Structure 1
Amino acid sequence: MAKLTAKEVANAKPKDKAYRLSDGGGLYLHIRKSGSKSWECRYIKPTTRKPTYTGVGAYPDVSLANARARATDVRKLVSEGIDPQLVKAEQKAKISSEQSNTFKAVAELWRDTKVNLNGSNTIAGNWRKLELHAFPSIGSIPVTMLTAPMAIAALKPLEKKERLETVKRTAQLLNEIMTFAVNFGLVHANPLTGIKEVFRKPKVQHMLALKPEELPELIRIVAKANMAITTKCLIEWQLHTMTRSSEAAGARWEEIDEEKRLWIIPKERMKMKKEHQIPLTEQALAILDVVRPISGHRNYVFPSIRDPKKPTDAESINKALSRIGFKGRTTAHGLRSLASTTLNEQEFNPDVIEAALAHTGKDAIRNAYNRSNYLEQRKPLMKWWSDHIEKASYGSMSITNSHR
């Protein structure tokens, strides 16, 4: 049978019924009643041994020469026992998967895995960075097509604005999401590894914290400050208990065991996802006595002023410290640093101090063997620290001094 010519293909006209023109080797030009033309290849299905057709492209998008090349590929697959239609379905599914697995869609899957690992504030903060600095540029790009230059271009405007710390953190998040994509089997390798190295580095800033000798000034100014009594109590509560701001602000009355003089924070609220028991000193209990008339009938020890059914904002301590003149000098986290520095200077056992701060050491092997929470050893340490704070408050109307 003579093969088709390009002219014959171009001049083929529609008829009352669809028909096919053979080019040989199983290749046909299919002409429909509408006049549209497409290429089809006839083959015997390897599994059923029945004849069938598979499309190899529309004319004129696919020329006669290209159609013949595609027909050759079909015959080669069949000769190897592979059904071309299954290959096509697999390729279609792969393309569909790639198109649906955009960077933002994969980021949402990644976020779901973080719900039980990070605090809600951390998750929200990280997601906000992505919404502002990543999704507008690369959110709709399939992860299989995402490249380092694309991600770098998304973060360059931040670098120009000197927001280098945000660049660093956002680049880390992009890397983490793409590593997740690798582990999920969506891409073979992470193309964003090391992109943070192309940006200028932020200056190293040491943790803002007061020196031990500045503690009396802090107590005095907080005592005289024009702020809500619950905020004053919260600041002193965090200072005495050496907790993180989110842990202190989210304290619940049900977590307090006054009979055992313990504050038991469940693992769900802890950064390291491990229950933390804190011995309560006389001064800490005095703070509870102050706030009890205000919040004793509610769930949270330090309820939000706007919505008492919710805890106060974890950032309220930082905001309060900033308002009363400590901006650039200390933060809520700096109160923990102040406690750590003071206790280390007093030569308390470093392991006991770390346990009081709910820190986990970087030595994984040591951590596996050293599972003690040093609760008994922490009781005299906490007493000394609260007594030290009380001495620093002499001459001022601190919460613990005025209500004991």
Structure 2
Amino acid sequence: MAGKLQALQIERETKPGKYADGDGLYFVVAGPTSRSWSYRYWFGGKERWYGLGSFENVSLKDARLARDAARLRVKGDRNTPGVDIVLEKRTARVEAQAEAAAAAAPPAPTFSECAQVYIDKMWDRWSEKHRDQWPSSLKTYAYPTIGDLTIAEIRPSHIQTLLTPIWIAKRETANRVRGRVETIIAANVEINDPAPNPAALTKVLREALPKRPKRVVQHHPALPYEEMPAFMAALSTASGRAAKMLRFLIFTACRTNEIVAGAWTEVDRPASVWKIPGERMKMEEDHSVPLSEPALAILDEARNGEQGQLIFPGDDGEPFSENAMLAVLARLGYGHVTVHGFRATYATWAEDCTDYPDGVREAALAHKYKDETTAAYQRGQKLEKRRALMRDWAAFITGANVIALRAGNAGP
């Protein structure tokens, strides 16, 4: 079949082969029932075969017209660059398959659905306070703006919108809501996802939010350290788990939330150490607390007959709130001081009455150094040095060295 193909010839041709019609058009016979048209061209130095349809559906005349249209697209003109039509067709097929797969896949969950999954997951680990605040704050402040959006649809501008009304008027609430939204988003993205978390408090988001006035620092009312021996003597007469918990808090100089959720699994009794996991620490770093003899005695007393997970459980088995310890203070006539204030009492005593280095005193309070160089140098927890410090603190507040202190402060 030399030269141009003839309709009658191709009608009868069944021998496998590729029969040229000219200008890149080929009649391709793969078998008696498999005959089709194809356009052969070169693009970027590569040979391409572009299908034009089967012989049963496309006549010789129509195949030539299709070949001509394909040639124009491949060659292009002054205003339009040439196109690799095989690659174009392949790309379109891949995109169509992806779209079909996306259409068949279940819809992505909304933020409110993701939040509920996270809340359900954390429910058994949370205190009653967290169980109340997480769902309530998200429903009030986050869901109206991003509740119906998927995680992928949330943008920093959405976070700005939901935070702006409360950023100044309800500072702490705004901080907590933003942190909770950031946590839920982080729990629903891949660890290697390069996209930044839209709820992260970046410089850009901070600048977009209203300017907050400088906060006036209000220190927690604290008891002067000179009054601690008398106070501890009174506290030792108070009954109940809340009173024991307050005594333990004072001996360890820990924060309230670290105490109320303390678990027996965290206590290493042979080593006299309480290991608090970072998830419950303000600085989110594990913290080991050396336990003095009075602190260990409180634990031994609390352990007697106690089978639960918490060291100081409430009557319902759930963690106590700070109010329980505040009530103890009020009953003893010390309602003018706060529970957190005992950390300030300890810090002032340690600075005024001891020669322990700043690093040891600050490590006992689990404070984080602002100076990165100092932080790197002081990274060790100085457990044994802090053990001696906490032993001296326990001796002081129980009255063991009150006489020596008074003698040292006595006038001429």
**TM-score, normalized by the shorter chain, greater than 0.5:** yes
Which of 1 and 2 has higher RCO (CA within 8 Å, sep 6+)? 1
Which structure 2 residues correspond to residues 3-402 of structure 1 after superposition, within 5 A?
49=51, 78=86, 80-91=88-99, 100=108, 102-104=110-112, 120=126, 128-147=136-155, 150-158=158-166, 162-174=169-181, 185=193, 190=198, 194-196=204-206, 197-199=208-210, 201=212, 204-206=215-217, 208-211=219-222, 213=224, 216=227, 220=231, 223=234, 229-253=240-264, 255-256=266-267, 260=271, 262-265=272-275, 267=277, 270-271=280-281, 272-274=284-286, 276-281=288-293, 283-288=294-299, 290-293=301-304, 295-296=305-306, 299-307=309-317, 310=318, 312-317=319-324, 319-320=326-327, 331-346=338-353, 347-363=355-371, 367-368=375-376, 370-391=378-399
Aligned equivalents of 2:292, 2:119: Cα separation in 1 = 36
More deviation, 170-179/233-242: 170-179
Amino acid at match of 1:304: G
Given the superposition, is the C-alpha separation of residues 251 and 195 from structure 1 closer, same or farther in structure 2, using an over 3 Å criterion? closer
Aligned residues: 318
Separation of aligned partners in 2, 1:362 and 1:96:
52
Identity of matched residues, %: 21
Change (3 A) 1:367 1:348: same
CA contact (8 A) 1:244 1:333 kept: yes
Task: Please tell me whether the aligned partners of residues 302 and 311 of structure 2 are also in contact (alpha carbons under 8 angstroms).
Answer: yes
Between the aligned partners of 1:150 and 1:101, the Cα distance in structure 2 is 17
Q: 1:353 to 1:235 in 2, by over 3 A?
A: same
Q: Give CA-to-partner distance per residue, 1:242-301, whole Å, 9 cap, x none.
A: 1222332344456555565x13325367524425141313x32443455455x4555543
Q: Residues 319 and 94 of structure 1: is their aligned pair in 2 closer, same or farther, counting only changes over 3 Å?
A: farther
TM-score (norm 1): 0.58
Q: TM-score, normalised by structure 2?
A: 0.57
Q: Secondary structure at the match of 2:366?
A: coil
Which runs of 5 or more structure 1 residues have no equivalent in the other structure? 1-42, 53-71, 395-404
Assess if the C-alpha contact under 8 Å between 1:321 and 1:331 holds in 2.
no
Q: Classify 1:348/1:95 alpha carbon distance in 2 versus 1 (closer, same or farther; 3 Å).
A: farther
Q: Where does structure 2 lack aligned partners over 5 or more consecutive residues? A: 1-37, 40-47, 55-72, 74-82, 403-412
- Across the aligned residues of Structure 1 and Structure 2, the Cα RMSD in angstroms comes to 5.0
Aligned to 1:66: none
Letter in 2 for 1:90: A
Find the aligned partners of 1:183 and 1:92 in 2 and give their Cα distance: 27
Q: Specify whether residues 277 and 157 from structure 1 end up closer, same or farther in structure 2 by C-alpha distance, changes over 3 A only.
A: closer
Retained in 2: the 8 A contact 1:343–1:353?
yes
CA contact (8 A) 2:266 2:274 kept: yes
Residue type at the aligned position of 1:243:
C
2:196, 2:106 → 1: CA distance? 13
Structure 1 residue 76, shift from structure 2 partner? 8.0
Q: How far has the Cα of 1:163 moved from its partner?
A: 1.8
1:213, distance to aligned residue in structure 2 (A): 1.7
In 2, Cα distance between the equivalents of 1:375 and 1:305?
Answer: 34
Q: 1:234 to 1:177 in 2, by over 3 A?
A: closer
Partner letter of residue 355 of structure 1? A
